[in-house]
Structure 1
Amino acid sequence: MTGFRVSVPASTANLGSGFDALGMALGLRDELEFEARADGLVVEVSGEGATVPTDESHLVVRAFREACAQVDVKVSGLRLRCRNAIPHSRGLGSSAAAVVAGVAAAYAFAGRELDTDALQLAAEFEGHADNAAAGMFGGVVVAWTVGTRYRFARLDPHPDVRPVVLVPDVESSTKTTRGLLPATVPHADAAFAAGRSALAVHALTRDPALLVEALDDRLHEPYRQPAWPATSALVTALRAAGVAAAVSGAGPTVLALPEGGVLPAGVDTSGFATRPLPVDLAGVTVAPLG
């Protein structure tokens, strides 16, 4: 094949207390074309993140090169076209989507189906598997590690889970927000987080009526509030109005799961763009360039 078209969804992670463990794919997609050339690299980017590097340091290219080496396929020259819809540095898995796209394209050139080794590649590159597994396989995911191996379980969400994301103009750095986390937390808070993350799995897949309680968190959101005070205030306001809400990934986007997929009147969302998005069930898709 001379090339492939790759479509990869956004994702939201943590889902309350499920820090680095729970993820969910969202119906907002980056579209990429990988075309083999005799030599050289051409990168064209439009949409979100159009100012990113267009050389070998581009994240998609780096992931693609690493995955090609791992699956023993050689693509000497490459034309990469990226039409990005996922906002960058907003907690919606844009970097995970880039990595997943690169890995999926390398597997396609090698004539291989995506598997657990593909997730291992993407998660190692990304640093954790929650966003990567959601972007690769869709739906709701639970991610964990066994030694150095990343593992995941994919679950189908309840049909009444209808996400709404509220995206501010400001960006947030995962590295910065992780730096705000303490080395230890009180045992009571750890127990609270364990119960809420387990409840979140049940609520997302079986009983959405429990989502307000399930998405409550003491493990990371309170410590990272100084990084995005407006985000934290909006989460608090939504929860006070009876809406299940949490910080999406490292923020500053807010994930809301309102009943019926509609936010109630009276909650001040100024400064945030409101976007209803379905749960994406397909994950990354790959097709030959026509």
Structure 2
Amino acid sequence: MLKVKVTVPATSTNFGPGLRVVGLALTLRASVEMTARDDGLMQIYLNGDLNDVMPTSFDNPAVRAAIKVFQRFERAPSGFDLEIDSEIPWDAGLGAEAAIQLAAIVAANNLIQADLKREDIIEIARGLNIPPTSIIAGLFGALSICSENETQFVYHTLDIVPLKIVVVVPFLPDYQGDQIGFPKLVSLDEAIYNMGQTALMIEALRLGNFDLLRQSMGDLLHQPNYIGRIPAYEAVNAAALESGAIATIVSGKGPALLAIAENFHESIAESMVEAFAEHEIAADTFIVGVDRQGITVSIVEQ
């Protein structure tokens, strides 16, 4: 019997001005452990807070991802145990579900000793509507840059300087990032501005040029849509900047906020939590780095 454990980092998609283009892997992780069994049963174990947000049935996102692999090769184990754990806050714009699904694809591939190649994994993950920048950053770590249309998908990963980021996740029960849309049309000037900001941001992250980074986190295409749905954002952003942050952005579809800073991370985290608290909003904080490992796999034969 085989036991396979796969871990995948958190990812921040739509990073800064890089709408659907730039993603960053962070040092929080989700794990999926699959163990073959020969009695035809499936047992799902959810650790921690996942019990409140994930089903223990075939509707579980990890099970759906694994089934895609079994169907592709037309073979599956007689049964399996599935244990899921995550440090990544759920439904916060940090790629928790994407990480779990990506881990399940790779775990299922190894459990049935199949031969999925890198591009096959990416294809299956895209078929599950996982954001491309989450897929690439999750697989390879560091900074992912993607471009796609109906006929082409191009990606590149870029290592960047060591960086610590303050992650603040406000407790907003009514926040629904998936339902926040974008305008169907934007002006050419706005698009050109974002293109320039994205290019400058990537270069700043590559060089570790914090002065340049301070000037290249502006966005006109997507951040305003989310910022307007996060109560007390202006106060929290002001507190972060006053405490030494270079910029504060919404991670993915929110409501998690990332404060980019060279120093004073603890003070920035405290000031942001206090600013939310003044508006009677609780928040969790993490101080994380940039994940450079990407996906990890361990296999044990029992």
Whether these two folds match at TM > 0.5 is: yes
TM-score normalised according to structure 1 size: 0.90
Q: Shift in Å at residue 272 of structure 1?
A: 2.8
Cα distance change, pair 3–11 in 1 and its aligned pair in 2 (3 A): same
CA contact (8 A) 1:193 1:218 kept: yes
Aligned partner of 1:170 in structure 2 is: 172
CA contact (8 A) 2:177 2:226 kept: no
Cα distance change, pair 56–231 in 1 and its aligned pair in 2 (3 A): farther
Aligned partner of 1:249 in structure 2 is: 252
**What aligned pairs does 1:99-248 form with structure 2 within 5 A after superposition?**
99-109=101-111, 110-112=113-115, 114-159=117-162, 161-170=163-172, 172-177=175-180, 179=181, 181-209=182-210, 210-231=212-233, 233-239=235-241, 242-248=245-251
Q: Shift in Å at residue 151 of structure 1?
A: 2.9
Q: Which has the higher mean CA deviation after the structures are superposed, 268-277 or 99-108?
A: 268-277
Task: Point out where structure 2 has 5 or more consecutive residues left out of the alignment.
Answer: 275-281
CA contact (8 A) 2:164 2:261 kept: yes
Q: Which has the higher mean CA deviation after the structures are superposed, 165-174 or 278-287?
A: 165-174
Aligned partner of 1:82 in structure 2 is: 84
Q: Shift in Å at residue 233 of structure 1?
A: 4.3
State the secondary structure of the residue aligned to 2:30: strand
Pick from 252, 271, 294 the counterpart of residue 283 of structure 1: 294
Query: C-alpha deviations, 1:186-232, integer Å up to 9, x for none?
Result: 22211111111111111111133122222221111112333213345
Q: Shift in Å at residue 25 of structure 1?
A: 0.8
**What aligned pairs does 1:257-268 form with structure 2 within 5 A after superposition?**
257-260=260-263, 262=265, 264=267, 267-268=271-272
TM-score normalised according to structure 2 size: 0.87
- What's the % identity of the aligned pairs? 29
State the secondary structure of the residue aligned to 2:63: helix
Cα distance change, pair 183–288 in 1 and its aligned pair in 2 (3 A): same
Aligned partner of 2:7 in structure 1 is: 7
Q: Shift in Å at residue 279 of structure 1?
A: 0.8
Aligned partner of 1:25 in structure 2 is: 25
> Number of residues paired by the alignment?
287
Query: C-alpha deviations, 1:66-89, integer Å up to 9, x for none?
Result: 123224542231210112211111
Mapped to 2, the partners of 1:218 and 1:211 lie a distance apart of 16
**Are 1:41 and 2:45 an aligned pair?**
no
CA contact (8 A) 1:45 1:84 kept: no
Query: C-alpha deviations, 1:152-197, integer Å up to 9, x for none?
Result: 21110112x22221111225434212x2x11111222111111111
Rg bigger for which structure? 2
Cα distance change, pair 48–202 in 1 and its aligned pair in 2 (3 A): farther
Cα distance change, pair 72–280 in 1 and its aligned pair in 2 (3 A): farther
CA contact (8 A) 1:16 1:215 kept: yes
CA contact (8 A) 2:10 2:27 kept: yes
State the secondary structure of the residue aligned to 2:155: strand
User: Which AA in structure 2 matches 1:213?
Assistant: Q
